[in-house]
Amino acid sequence: MKIIFQNEHFVAVDKPAGVLSVPARQADDPRPILGRELEKQLGQTIFPIHRLDAEVSGLVLYALQPKAHTQANGQFENRLVQKTYQAFSKGGKFTAGEEGQWKALILRGKKRAYESPAGKVAVTQFKCLRRSSEGYFEWRLFPKTGRSHQLRWELFRHDSLILGDTLYGSDEPWKEGIALRSLSLEFQAEFVKEFGLPAMLQVDPWPSRA
């Protein structure tokens, strides 16, 4: 567990794959919980703000005070935080440099997300950085909403499966978890000033594969 930033209000961590951001619904889930480990390490209560799937690595932000927690929740809920993800996938019909926006109505089932007229709007901006001759793609993904499995489902929907994501049908191995990584969080100027945050928190991307 690598702490990227910490002050009296917040702590940001580079979460490894295979670790839960918050406790699972099943009480007997054996996977380690990042929030609990942080509380032990810091010796204080922490407050979850957002989460990553256990299979996903990268930047996670927690609050250390109730006021910071409330304000940060508002920033995320009102879509004032710019989130950037890196992904590697295989398949689909894309070209290097292609960018645009995906929009759909999705719901989360017991395991996977799916499209439904009763679903919630999911909006993702994307940029395909490169494509290899073997059909591997490297992406930068910018979710404008925070639906469960939003990015995993979108690449599945576009026939470009995230490496290692067996839940959505990938048979391509990945070193750990899946090839989806939370790279950065960018905040509004007033929020940054009030809580002493950098304008952008970020972790290192994976080396290019595609």
Domains of the chain, by residue range, sit at 1-80+187-203, 82-184
Q: Could you tell me the pTM of the whole model?
A: 0.95
- Residue 26 reports pLDDT greater than 80: no
Asked if pLDDT for residue 25 goes beyond 60, the answer is yes
| One fold for 1-80+187-203 and 82-184 | yes
Pick 23 or 42 by higher pLDDT: 42
CA distance 5 to 147: 26
Element at 186 (helix H, strand E): strand 180-186
Residue 185 has pLDDT above 60, yes or no: yes
Residue for token digits 């580079």? 14
Q: 82-184: what fold?
A: Pseudouridine synthase (3.30.2350)
Average pLDDT over residues 66-86: 97
Quote the mean pLDDT of the chain: 95
Q: Which top CATH class is 1-80+187-203?
A: alpha beta
Asked if the model's pLDDT at residue 98 lies above 70, the reply is yes
Instruction: Please state the rounded mean pLDDT for residues 178-196.
Output: 97
> Would you please indicate which residues are annotated as catalytic (active-site) residues?
53
Lowest mean pLDDT among 29-33, 91-95, 154-158: 29-33
pLDDT grade, residue 28 (50/70/90)? confident
Q: For residues 151-172, give the mean pLDDT.
A: 97
Shortest CA distance to 59 belongs to which of 100, 10, 105, 109? 10
The 10 Å CB-count burial string (b at 16+, else e) for 46-70 is: bbbbbbbbbbbbbbbbbbbbeebbe
